[in-house]
Amino acid sequence: MADRLFEEPRLARLYDAFCRGRPDFEFYLPLVMDAHAVLDVGCGTGELLRLAREAGHRGRLCGLDPADAMLEEARVCSDVEWHLGDVARSEWTAEFDQIVMTGHAFQVLVEDEQIRRSLRAVRQALRADGRFVFETRNPAVRGWEDWVPDNAVEITTSDGERIRMAHQVQAVAGDLVTFTVAYSCPGWERDEVSWSTLRFLDATALPRFLNEAGLVVESQLGSWSGNPLTPTSEEIITIARPG
Q: How many domains does the chain have?
A: 2
Task: Based on the fold, state whether residues 132 and 145 are members of the same structural domain.
Answer: no
Q: What value does the mean pLDDT take over residues 196-221?
A: 97
Whether 187 and 91 share a structural domain = no
| 3-state class (DSSP) for residue 131 | strand
Distances (CA, A) of 77 to 20, 46, 51, 65, 113: 18, 8, 10, 15, 34
- Residue 234 scores a pLDDT above 80: yes
Q: Average of pLDDT values for 226-239?
A: 97
Q: Assign 145 a pLDDT band (cuts: 50, 70, 90).
A: very high
Q: How many residues belong to the chain?
A: 243
Output the domain CATH number for residue 233.
3.40.50.150
Residue 5: per-residue pLDDT: 54
* Residues 114 and 174 grouped into a single domain: no
Shortest CA distance to 100 belongs to which of 132, 78, 74? Answer: 132
First to last CA, the chain: 26
Q: What was the pLDDT predicted at 57?
A: 98
99: closest CA among 204, 201, 200, 239?
239
Instruction: Tell me which H or E stretch contains 123.
Output: helix 112-125
Residues 212 and 184 in one domain: no
Q: Report residue 97 CA to chain centroid gap.
A: 19
Cα radius of gyration rounded to whole Å, the chain: 18
Note whether 165 and 53 are same-domain residues: no
> Mind listing the pLDDT tens digit for each residue in 5-58?
556 777 777 887 888 888 999 999 999 999 999 999 999 999 999 999 999 999
Which structural domain range is residue 10 located in? 4-137+200-242
59 and 128 in a single domain? The answer is yes
pLDDT class of 117 with cuts at 50, 70, 90: very high
* Phi and psi, residue 194, nearest 5°: -125, 155
Domain shared by 112 and 160, yes or no: no
Summarize the confidence of residues 192-217 as an average pLDDT: 95
Contact 135, 236 (CB under 8 A): yes
Rounded average pLDDT over 199-218: 97
